[in-house]
Amino acid sequence: MESTASASHVPPIDDSWKKIVTPYQNSDLRMSLLQALTSIAPYFILWYLMYRSLEVSYWLTLLLAVPTAGFAMRMFIIFHDAGHGSFFKSKRANAIIGQFTGVLLFTPYYAWRHSHAIHHATAGDLDRRGTGDIWTLTVEEYNKLSFWKRMAYRMYRNPFVIFVIGPTIDFVVLQRFYPMNAATDPREKASVRHTNIALLIILIVMSLTIGFKEYVMVQLPIIAIASSVGVWLFYVQHQYENVYWERHENWDFATAALYGSSYYKLPRILQWFSGNIGFHHIHHLSPRIPNYSLEQCHNENELFQKVEPLTIRTSLKSLHVRLWDEDHHKLVGYHPHHVPDDLDLD
């Protein structure tokens, strides 16, 4: 069955992709355990070194926060894969490591898993926006807003808000409440409560041992850096000029996965710290593929190599596209005629 998508820049996709991804959908226990070891253990070691560095210089503490945040990002990929049931074959093992890393990452596991599942099921669907995604309006919707609502949208989409202060507020504050993380059923709400209790216990223990101020001085920059980079990665994976969006009647899952999710080609060291999440087009097509198998899947199949990659340089265009133009099937800025010409980074 071919896609019914009407976007002119998107080629049709048949069902052959299902057979292509199948061999890569099995988790490897050795690889999963190795990734957990090389992500979680370094995080704790660096966290301790950050604490000890307070005796030397807080600038050294902040310097150490950068690699520590990098390992926090790798932990988030483990948390993320567990939520998709792809990190371990065992549901129980995925739940255990998901809840454990969720506490370290200030994110309730079951609540996040629910909202993220909605994101995967609705990405690129203009009629099912609003859960687990970036607030995105069409040009027509934006033009119909009152002045103050336009200002609210512009503030939300401002790079300083969405990438600098917003991520920390989200992970530290908003994730503590049901409505903010789309928790609906009892288990999801319980995961919010249990995560909050675990964080409170950690805060009390740390306050009584190393001190409240010292704990915040170490933990806060880690959260700030990791969450900001993580939000940028998520943003650029679905917010770029030629991304795929369609009304529900024309929306197609496979097309939305391959062309509504970017292939973010990162330098090798950043690819390692981000757990191959740059192969996001493959991940959205088959979230059961473990992160450590995504690159192999890409390299061995021509279908995925047809997706034009974004580089760090070309991805900067994403900072300037904020509205979906339904007539031209692309994201544009607030002044669309300025976007392509003024921002030619190629």
Model pLDDT for residues 211-270, shown as the tens digit of each residue: 999 999 999 999 999 999 999 999 999 999 999 999 999 999 999 999 999 999 999 999
Q: How is the chain split among helix, strand and coil, in percent rounded to 5?
A: 65, 5, 30
Residue with tokens 């995967």, as numbered in its chain? 120
Tell me how far apart the terminal alpha carbons of the chain are, to the nearest angstrom: 35
> Chain centroid to CA 278: how far?
10
Domain-embedded: residue 172:
yes
Residue 6 counted as domain residue? no
The pLDDT, as a whole number, for residue 306 is 87
State how many domains the chain has: 1
Provide the β-strand partners of residue 137: 323
Asked, for residue 273, whether it belongs to a domain, the answer is: yes
**Dist CA 247 CA 297 (whole Å):** 30
Looking at residue 339, its pLDDT comes to: 44
Note whether residue 10 is domain-resident.
Answer: no
For residue 131, the model assigns a pLDDT of 85
| Per-residue pLDDT of the chain in tens (346 residues, 90 and over written 9) | 333 344 446 666 778 899 999 999 999 999 999 999 999 999 999 999 999 999 999 999 999 999 999 999 999 999 999 999 999 999 999 999 999 999 999 999 999 999 999 999 999 999 999 888 899 999 999 999 999 999 999 999 999 999 999 999 999 999 999 877 778 899 999 999 999 999 999 999 999 999 999 999 999 999 999 999 999 999 999 999 999 999 999 999 999 999 999 999 999 999 999 999 999 999 999 999 999 999 999 999 999 998 899 999 999 999 999 999 999 999 999 976 544 444 444 4
Please check whether residue 5 lies inside any domain of the structure: no
Instruction: Look at residue 4 and tell me if it is in a domain.
Output: no
**Helix ranges, the chain (H):** 16-21, 29-53, 58-83, 91-104, 109-122, 139-144, 147-157, 159, 166-172, 186-209, 212-238, 253-259, 268-273, 280-285, 294-299, 302-305, 312-315, 339-342
| Collapsed DSSP state (helix, strand, coil) of residue 118 | helix
Domain that holds residue 116: 16-342
